[in-house]
């Protein structure tokens, strides 16, 4: 998508794009102090010492939760219809048939929703950043070929659009939806070419902090990077469950009824609740569904060109920040009194 823009944007500019406000964060990124506390980023899928992969929305990370929610909906409707059918002391054939039909409809809707989400997600690219080369890469929407963009020429902005919602009584309302967008400015036709659009959030800080997590990865030492949680897949579930069980067995001070939602290994009650919850949500199934979704729609294989581009470089070959950027960074830190 291209948007006419008379001049190249700079960090701090505010303009109206398609009758909605946009606040530019880059080029020459607006910086926070490296040790400012921030929320864990939702859009970042994973990173290592060289690359960072940026997803599209929270659904890339919480499909296991959504699958578990569908399972508990099945339980709820099944319990309601069974209870209604047994009012006279027995479950008649009509109530049983209606129960099976309803459960089949819910399962079919879940499968269709999964397929729609995969198709929708495949149309929206995953972005890869390379901190050693100071570039990012994305698949061109038309040709599918990889396109490489220098980090310091990247245009990043928060777009203040609107989304449709509803009140508790079903009345439609319009809500603010702030999304992080990435683009290239094309001087030859004075247009802003958008190639990434994150999901909208009612709170603008979510978009700002996702950008800041990217900026810190590209510009700051590792100790200032934001922690990114593991993706919800079957391998991660097995690893987390095994680590939790080992901590529980090794804990000499575990109690019977103590509740600590941050560490289930501290008591028999929370460990029992943990295993009961996962047994009721069909154990590993939600994480297997999430892993399938990630393979089909999100973490698709990159081309050989991108894989080679993603390999580590000797430190002597790392691309250095421009003098313009270093001056802007030094001025910002001096203004904030940061040493």
What residue has token string 């700051």?
220
Q: Is residue 12 scored above 70 in pLDDT?
A: yes
Lowest mean pLDDT among 71-85, 132-146, 272-286, 292-306: 71-85
Question: Which residues share a beta bridge with 194?
Answer: 183
Of 172 and 7, the one with more pLDDT: 7
Of 165 and 215, the one with more pLDDT: 215
Quick one: what percent of the chain has pLDDT higher than 70? 85
Of 86 and 71, the one with more pLDDT: 71
Q: Is residue 39 scored above 70 in pLDDT?
A: no
Q: Is 330 helix (H, G, I), strand (E, B) or coil?
A: helix
The sign one gets for the Cα dihedral 177, 178, 183, 189 is positive
What is the DSSP code (8-state) at residue 300? P
Of 150 and 17, the one with more pLDDT: 150
Q: Is residue 289 scored above 70 in pLDDT?
A: yes
What residue has token string 């702030």?
178
- pTM above the 0.95 mark? no
The reported pLDDT for the residue numbered 170 is 56
The reported pLDDT for the residue numbered 137 is 93
CA distances from 337 to 216, 223, 326, 331 (A): 19, 20, 16, 10
Q: Is residue 164 scored above 70 in pLDDT?
A: no
Average pLDDT on 205-231 reads 83
The reported pLDDT for the residue numbered 246 is 85
The reported pLDDT for the residue numbered 51 is 93
CA 202/CA 131 separation, integer angstroms: 30
The two structure tokens encoding residue 93 = 């054939």
CA 271/CA 247 separation, integer angstroms: 11
8 Å CB contact between 274 and 49: no
The tally of CA atoms less than 13 A away on the side-chain side of residue 72 is 11
Convert the pLDDT of each residue in 294-333 to its tens digit.
Answer: 888 888 888 899 999 999 999 899 999 888 888 888 887 7
Q: Is residue 59 scored above 80 in pLDDT?
A: no
Provide the strand spans (E) within 61-171.
Answer: 127-130, 135-139, 146-150, 155-166
């Amino acid at each position: 998508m291209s948007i006419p823009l008379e001049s190249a944007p700079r960090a701090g500019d505010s303009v109206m794009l398609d009758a909605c406000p946009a606040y530019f964060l880059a080029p020459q990124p607006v910086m926070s102090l490296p040790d400012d506390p921030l929320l864990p980023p939702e859009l970042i899928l994973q990173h290592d010492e060289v690359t960072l992969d940026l997803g599209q929305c929270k659904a890339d990370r919480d499909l296991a939760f959504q699958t578990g929610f569908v399972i508990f909906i099945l339980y709820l409707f099944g319990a309601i219809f069974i209870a209604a059918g047994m009012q006279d002391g027995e479950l008649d054939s009509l109530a049983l048939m209606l129960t099976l039909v309803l459960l089949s409809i819910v399962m079919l809707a879940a499968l269709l929703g999964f397929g729609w989400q995969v198709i929708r997600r495949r149309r929206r690219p995953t972005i890869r950043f390379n901190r050693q080369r100071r570039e990012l890469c994305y698949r061109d929407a038309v040709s599918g070929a990889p396109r490489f963009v220098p980090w310091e020429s990247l245009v990043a902005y928060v777009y203040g659009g609107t989304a449709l919602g509803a009140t508790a009584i079903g009345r439609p309302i319009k809500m603010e939806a702030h999304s992080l967008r990435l683009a290239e400015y094309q001087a030859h036709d004075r247009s802003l070419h958008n190639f990434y659009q994150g999901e909208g959030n009612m709170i603008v800080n979510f978009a700002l902090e996702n950008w800041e997590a990217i900026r810190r990865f590209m510009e700051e030492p590792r100790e200032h990077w934001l922690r990114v949680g593991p993706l919800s897949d079957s391998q991660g579930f097995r690893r987390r469950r095994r680590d939790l069980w080992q901590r529980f067995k090794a804990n000499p001070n575990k109690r019977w009824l103590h509740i600590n939602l941050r560490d289930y290994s501290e008591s028999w009650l929370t460990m029992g609740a943990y295993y009961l919850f996962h047994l009721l949500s069909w154990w590993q199934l939600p994480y297997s569904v999430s892993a399938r979704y990630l393979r089909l729609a999100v973490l698709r294989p990159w081309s050989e060109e991108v894989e080679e581009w993603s390999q580590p470089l000797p430190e002597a070959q790392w691309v250095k920040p421009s003098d313009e950027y270093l001056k802007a960074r030094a001025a910002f830190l001096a203004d904030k009194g940061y040493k």
